[in-house]
Amino acid sequence: MRNGLAKRLANLHGEYGVYDREKLCVPPRENIMDQIRGIGELAYLHRFYINYRRNLLVKLKKRRGRPAISRMTHVSRSVDLPFIGEAVVDRAKYFFVFEGSLSMESKLSVTVLSCLWPLEGMASLMPLQNIFRNFWPSPYDCIVESLKINAEIARHSYVVDAVRIGKQDGKGKQDLPTNRELLSREISLLNPALVILVGRTAANIVGKEAQRTQKNRYCQVPFPTKRRSKRDAKRAERKYEKLREQMWVA
């Protein structure tokens, strides 16, 4: 069943030109798909990515001749792979939307390294420090702690970046209508109970209309960071607490 979802996502992302062949075929050291290979708890995810990439490469062959999508924007430096939890077959209970990839363009990573979420609380995280150093030496722990991510939440989650497509003018601006349309179609495909918008950019991509008409489905929280005043930190914590309440009843 998950193979069918891998194909549907590959077809959707291929339609929008989110990735190109060069990006999907970077050397193993620069490719997160190869780096998680052999980790028992992530065996399902490795299989999913292999199937997803195979279907996406087929889709990209049919797209030849069309201009490549501009990915570099002021919000994102690259395009990461989405993460999909082991229990997500036809729908995701939680749909996390972050802002944009901070990975180097030469590497193929996963949004905020959420591929490691299923390992939270396990001693097996320690040997993976090379993955943190190589792909995203940023506040992973702060994100996990603020959003209270655990292995069970990860099992039911889909995680993606909001900004994946930039305008063709080369000025570093995102293509908001196209990013919004793509994200809307992903949400429709995965039909989540709760969509978590992490950061202002994620909320802006979704748009006020969707959040206004489906208040119980959307929850916006600040992007986790330790660089906040005490006042702002308290405000952020109240929003994280509200998120945890919504996740409890979702």
How far lies 229's CA from each of 90, 125, 149, 225, 240, in Å?
Answer: 41, 30, 24, 11, 16
- The 3-state DSSP class for residue 243 equals helix
Share of the chain above pLDDT 90, in %: 62
| Residue-wise pLDDT tens digits, 184-196 | 999 999 999 999 9
Give the Cα separation of 241 and 138 in Å (integer). Answer: 23
| Residue-wise pLDDT tens digits, 194-236 | 999 999 999 999 999 999 999 899 999 999 998 889 999 999 9
List, as one string, the DSSP characters of 3-21.
HHHHHHHHHHHHHHT-S-H
pLDDT of 38 reads 86
pLDDT of 73 reads 56
Per-residue confidence band for 105, with pLDDT thresholds at 50, 70 and 90: confident
Strand 83-84 and strand 157-163: pairing? antiparallel
Give the Cα separation of 141 and 91 in Å (integer). Answer: 27
Joined tokens for residue 63 = 């797209």
Give the Cα separation of 225 and 91 in Å (integer). Answer: 30
Strand 157-163 and strand 94-100: pairing? parallel
How far lies 63's CA from each of 29, 60, 89, in Å?
Answer: 28, 5, 27
| Residues 112/136, Cβ–Cβ less than 8 Å | yes
pLDDT of 78 reads 82
Q: Dihedral of CA 91/19/7/37: which sign?
A: negative
Per-residue confidence band for 66, with pLDDT thresholds at 50, 70 and 90: low
pLDDT of 64 reads 61
| Residue-wise pLDDT tens digits, 133-156 | 888 766 888 999 999 999 999 999
| Structural domains for the chain | 69-249 (3.40.470)
The alpha helices in the chain, defined as continuous H runs, are: 2-16, 21-24, 32-35, 43-62, 129-135, 140-147, 151-155, 176-190, 200-206, 208-213, 230-249
Strand partners, 101: 78
Joined tokens for residue 211 = 């959040």
Model confidence, pTM = 0.92
Most confident stretch, 85-94, 119-128, 189-198: 189-198
- C-alpha radius of gyration, the chain, whole number: 17
pLDDT at 68 over 80: no
